[in-house]
A and B are shown apart, each in its own frame.
Chain A
Amino acid sequence: MNSMERVLATISGEPSDRPPFTLTLSLYGAKLTACPLRAYYSDPELYFKGQNAVVEQCRPDIIFTPFALALEAQAFGSEIVYFPNAPPNVRRPCIRSAAEIAKINVPDVNSQPGLLYLRQAARLLAARYKGTIPICGVMTAHTDLPAIIMGIDAWLETLMFDRRRASVMLSFTARYFLAMANGLFADGIDFLALPMIFCNPRIILKKTVEEIIMPALTEIFQQLKGPVVFHHGGNPIGEYLQFYKDLPNVAGFVIDSRDSFSGARKALGDDVLLMGNLDGPSLSKISPQTAVKKVKKIIDERRNDRHFILASTSADVPYDTPIETIAGIYDLLRKREVEADDR
């Protein structure tokens, strides 16, 4: 089986030769190609080169477009900062409150340089891997975009105390989101992963989730021209999965390392694709042996789960993660494949 067949089998609940796996190795391609990060996150050819190295040396079953959400914020006018060993981040949001929305424009997804970089990276990956390795686009949900355009506290405040402006802001970000997401689907991605933050009752009030966020997500997700993977966004989501399970176009969920798969199964049923549970950002701090032990525990627990993909959670796998850690995870899964063949 190739990666696409393996992942498709898992989505439809058919048997596969081994559990598919993916680690968020968007950043890691820069390490493997010794590429300075400012160049890596601005030249799609360099990103593509990095992902080719990821495919060759790490052999994941899913690859990613650049996990560089700050570039979206920059497209609206926010100031970003580059780091020597991490993806860019937002230094200064472009507006201070929803009242200043008139000062900014919806960026053109066909001409804004940062967005073109993201799209061209998707096109290059699709030209090479379409049909053999699923390509996952990564974007900010339109319900989270205001936090990187005007700051977390300003968006919290707007959602809680100014419903009219929250609605205006969501219509504004939805215009960009739909154009960019559907643009990425046209460029060749197979699905879209959205790290979701401002839909989680750990972050915002439950009534805000119910009355503002869910209707907004429902309206926009149904206009997407491809499936979404709902990513936990750095917070546990297990106890709230019932909120999201009926959203249109959602093909699966990435749960946090603190969530349990069995709990998620109870909330979602047996037929929904579940991913995640291996904490990505801590992989650089544990030994390859410990990482492999963690993976073994997860895949043993999910042995009979046909809708399961082992994946790293939260942000990118860190730059300084030893290659032996990633190789060890692959070897363990490959061993399972050989054992299955022998049976």
Chain B
Amino acid sequence: MIIKEVAMNAQETRSDLYDAIIKGEIARAERLLDDYARLAGNYRLAMKEIMEPVLRAIGDNWHLERISLAQGYVAGKVAEGILKKIFAEEKGHTPSSTKGPLILGNIEDDFHALGRKLVSIFSEAAGWKVYDLGNDVTAGAFVDKAVETGARVLGVSAMMFTTAENIKKVRSEIDRRKMTGRIQLAVGGAVFNLRSELVTEVGGDGTASNCMEAPQLFDELWRKSLEVAP
């Protein structure tokens, strides 16, 4: 009986949650997830059955340019909120990250953090263990952290063309240390959406058109890395 109630409620909750996020009603969104977690038994189920499908729907619409930055931001805040609740709920019991690690940061001289922060949130929501190095990160610092943690993917963000050019230094650093293929270079930021040819120009191995698509890109690049250097 309870299972049936939860299943019936899931569909309605997903629809309500999508609506709340699109309207920027963050408190309502959190309430919906709290209610569902109570009914289902825990936040991890709320994440899996409600939040993840809603994030996929928002991601699809973002790809179609039907989602504003503000709506994406709200989705990020809601995802961040439920991740914290899962962490609090499961502390000391089960690991919350199943993929990675993944290194994120804004390239040297770039200080536009919003996109990177959202990528970090959505990647964690997708199960990645994320090391976020912040703004203005040098090529050496990116690769050092990848070596230290065993990360196979770097996610490097730049908003402007001028700063995107600095990503070439990360490419050179990876190659110089003979880690080509082993460490995959994901690049992203507004400028790459405007000029897709820039991905190749700066030596990127791939890009995603928005922060919700980034985790899927990281999955692909991780697979690619394993093929090159098992």
Residues of A participating in the B interface, judged by any CB pair closer than 8 Å: 81, 83, 85-86, 89-92, 151-153, 156-157, 159-161, 201-205, 207-208, 234, 281-282, 285, 314-315, 318
User: Which residue on A lies nearest to B136, using beta carbons?
Assistant: A91
CA of A91 to CA of B109 in the docked complex: distance in angstroms? Answer: 8
CA of A156 to CA of B71 in the docked complex: distance in angstroms? Answer: 10
**CB within 8 Å of A: which of B16-30?**
23-24, 26
- Taking CB atoms, residues of chain A closer than 8 Å to B69 are 156, 202-204
- Taking CB atoms, residues of chain B closer than 8 Å to A152 are 112, 114
Q: Tell me if B65 counts as interface (CB < 8 A to partner A).
A: yes
Proximity bits, B179-196, A CB within 8 Å = 1, else 0 = 000000000001000110
- Taking CB atoms, residues of chain B closer than 8 Å to A91 are 111, 136
8 examples of A-B residue contacts, CB within 8 angstroms: A81-B111, A83-B109, A89-B111, A202-B65, A203-B68, A203-B69, A208-B24, A281-B194
- Taking CB atoms, residues of chain B closer than 8 Å to A205 are 23-24, 68, 70-71
Proximity bits, B31-71, A CB within 8 Å = 1, else 0 = 00000000000000000000000000000000001001111
CB <8 Å contact, A204 and B70 = yes
CA of A157 to CA of B76 in the docked complex: distance in angstroms? Answer: 12
- Known A-B contacts A156-B69, A205-B68, A205-B71; the reply to A89 vs B114 at CB < 8 A is no
CB <8 Å contact, A86 and B70 = no
CB <8 Å contact, A153 and B195 = no
CB <8 Å contact, A281 and B161 = yes
Q: Tell me if B131 counts as interface (CB < 8 A to partner A).
A: no
Cross-chain pair count, CB within 8 angstroms: 64
User: Which residue on A lies nearest to B191, using beta carbons?
Assistant: A281
User: Which residue on B lies nearest to A86, using beta carbons?
Assistant: B162
Q: Tell me if B113 counts as interface (CB < 8 A to partner A).
A: yes
**CB within 8 Å of A: which of B62-86?**
65, 68-71, 73-74
CB <8 Å contact, A204 and B68 = yes
- Taking CB atoms, residues of chain B closer than 8 Å to A160 are 24, 26, 70, 73-74
- Taking CB atoms, residues of chain B closer than 8 Å to A282 are 194-195
Q: How far is the CB of B180 from chain A (nearest CB, A)?
A: 26
User: Which residue on A lies nearest to B76, using beta carbons?
Assistant: A153
Q: How far is the CB of A136 from chain B (nearest CB, A)?
A: 22
CB <8 Å contact, B111 and A92 = yes
CA of A201 to CA of B26 in the docked complex: distance in angstroms? Answer: 18
CA of A318 to CA of B73 in the docked complex: distance in angstroms? Answer: 31
**Besides the contacts A156-B70, A160-B74, A201-B68, what 17 more A-B pairs have beta carbons closer than 8 Å?**
A81-B109, A83-B162, A86-B162, A90-B111, A151-B113, A153-B113, A156-B114, A157-B73, A159-B70, A160-B26, A160-B70, A160-B73, A203-B70, A204-B68, A205-B23, A282-B194, A282-B195
CA of A143 to CA of B207 in the docked complex: distance in angstroms? Answer: 31
- Taking CB atoms, residues of chain A closer than 8 Å to B109 are 81, 83
- Taking CB atoms, residues of chain A closer than 8 Å to B162 are 83, 85-86
- Taking CB atoms, residues of chain A closer than 8 Å to B68 are 201-205
CB <8 Å contact, A156 and B73 = yes
CA of A160 to CA of B76 in the docked complex: distance in angstroms? Answer: 14
Q: Tell me if B99 counts as interface (CB < 8 A to partner A).
A: no
User: Which residue on B lies nearest to A84, using beta carbons?
Assistant: B162
- Known A-B contacts A156-B73, A204-B69; the reply to A89 vs B195 at CB < 8 A is no
- Taking CB atoms, residues of chain A closer than 8 Å to B117 are 153
- Known A-B contacts A83-B162, A90-B111, A92-B111; the reply to A285 vs B195 at CB < 8 A is yes
Q: Tell me if B160 counts as interface (CB < 8 A to partner A).
A: yes
CB <8 Å contact, A89 and B74 = no
Going nearest first, the 8 A-B pairs with the smallest beta carbon separation are A86-B162, A204-B70, A153-B114, A203-B69, A205-B24, A152-B114, A205-B70, A160-B24
CA of A318 to CA of B71 in the docked complex: distance in angstroms? Answer: 32
Q: How far is the CB of B77 from chain A (nearest CB, A)?
A: 8
- Taking CB atoms, residues of chain A closer than 8 Å to B23 are 205, 207
CA of A156 to CA of B115 in the docked complex: distance in angstroms? Answer: 13
CA of A131 to CA of B162 in the docked complex: distance in angstroms? Answer: 35
- Known A-B contacts A81-B109, A202-B65; the reply to A89 vs B160 at CB < 8 A is yes
CA of A151 to CA of B116 in the docked complex: distance in angstroms? Answer: 14
- Taking CB atoms, residues of chain A closer than 8 Å to B160 are 86, 89, 315
CA of A4 to CA of B100 in the docked complex: distance in angstroms? Answer: 60
Q: How far is the CB of A155 from chain B (nearest CB, A)?
A: 10
Proximity bits, B153-175, A CB within 8 Å = 1, else 0 = 00000001110000000000000
- Taking CB atoms, residues of chain A closer than 8 Å to B112 are 152
User: Which residue on A lies nearest to B195, using beta carbons?
Assistant: A282
User: Which residue on A lies nearest to B67, using beta carbons?
Assistant: A202
CA of A129 to CA of B25 in the docked complex: distance in angstroms? Answer: 52
CA of A86 to CA of B70 in the docked complex: distance in angstroms? Answer: 28
- Taking CB atoms, residues of chain A closer than 8 Å to B161 are 86, 281, 318
CB <8 Å contact, B73 and A153 = yes
- Taking CB atoms, residues of chain B closer than 8 Å to A315 are 160
Q: How far is the CB of B34 from chain A (nearest CB, A)?
A: 18
Q: How far is the CB of B22 from chain A (nearest CB, A)?
A: 9
